[in-house]
Amino acid sequence: MLEKLFSLGYSKTFAERYYQLWGERALAIAEAMERPLPRCFRVNTLRIEVPKLTKLLNKKGFQFRRVLWAREGFCLTREPFSITSTPEYLSGLLYIQEASSMYPPVALDPKPGEVVADMAAAPGGKTSYMAQLMENEGIIYAFDVGEDRLKETRLNLSRLGVTNTILFHSSSLHIDELGIEFDKILLDAPCTGSGTIHKNPERKANRTMEDVRFCQGLQMKLLEKGLSVLKKGGVLVYSTCSLEPEENELVIQWVLDNFDVELLPLRYGEPALTKPFGIELSEEIKKARRFYPDRHGTSGFFVAKIKKL
């Protein structure tokens, strides 16, 4: 079993960790990540209604299935030519987005008129989905540190017709300097990306436990800062594209132990782990969700919905 994980290119450290976490299933997860994911897209309802766009694409020979958790989301089952070369894509009627990435905005459920923060926004997929769910009403404060990625975000938001978002070229660790209390916050946290091996195969071998610990420390700082500017009764959705419990369940356990919050249940995905590596965590952690390539046909993904009491 471990030999097979080594043969796929995983380092000894991570092969052993995954076997400890999932036993024989670790190989099924690893093998599923060797296969490319289906190309998925979201209909941009700021510019067109869902039935109208699906009809236009069907006429051109595109076929797709609905994403379970996103009423505007679809995954292609037939792509006669690249969907990114269609006038529909170029004019912002749709956005290419991985299925699991559609879930955090849906879980957050921002409403028109609310004051929302996106703490790590680039390249704008989740930001633009939130704007769409808010019908461009209310305001989104979107932060990112990467200048080039922020340029890409600006272009994406412009193409999609998003008008309720202010972009900040800054770390969201400075979010409190705005002096604003937020109704809702999305933190799609910087992470080791171990759930995205299908597009970043080098991560099988070049990540270390030091990387995991570095990301965990940053995630905790960002969560602490986010919770400090969230209104009482407000909701923060935390997500990563990491498989590592240190960046997921253990971070959420730390939040439960140190802040006056509760986890809200999520409908889709598998319950999060409550005994990773034999560490006993709160049963509440089951309310957070994991997505796996072998069962959900997505990247490895984690989502938790936190309410401030």
Coil, helix or strand at residue 105: helix
144 annotated as belonging to a binding site for a ligand: yes
Burial 141-159 (b: 16+ CB within 10 A, else e): bbbbeeeebbeebbebbeb
Strand 94-96 and strand 40-43: the pairing is: antiparallel
CA dihedral defined by 281, 284, 288, 293, rounded to 10 degrees?
Answer: 50
121 annotated as belonging to a binding site for a ligand: yes
Residue showing tokens 């930001």 = 127
Check residue 23 and give left, alpha or beta (phi > 0: left; psi -120 to 50: alpha).
left
Q: What six digits make up the tokens of 24?
A: 């024989």
126 annotated as belonging to a binding site for a ligand: yes
Indicate if the alpha-carbon torsion angle 158, 163, 164, 169 is positive or negative: positive
Contact predicate 40/76, CB 8 Å: yes
188 annotated as belonging to a binding site for a ligand: yes
122 annotated as belonging to a binding site for a ligand: yes
CA dihedral defined by 174, 149, 109, 117, rounded to 10 degrees?
Answer: 20
Q: What six digits make up the tokens of 98?
A: 């991985």
124 annotated as belonging to a binding site for a ligand: yes
Give the E-state strand segments of 125-176 in sequence order.
Answer: 139-144, 165-169
**Residue 69 DSSP one-character state:** T
| 241 noted as active-site residue | yes
Q: Which residues pair with 231 in a beta bridge?
A: none
Query: Which residues are part of the catalytic machinery?
Result: 241
Q: Binding site for S-adenosyl-L-methionine, residues? A: 120-126, 144, 188
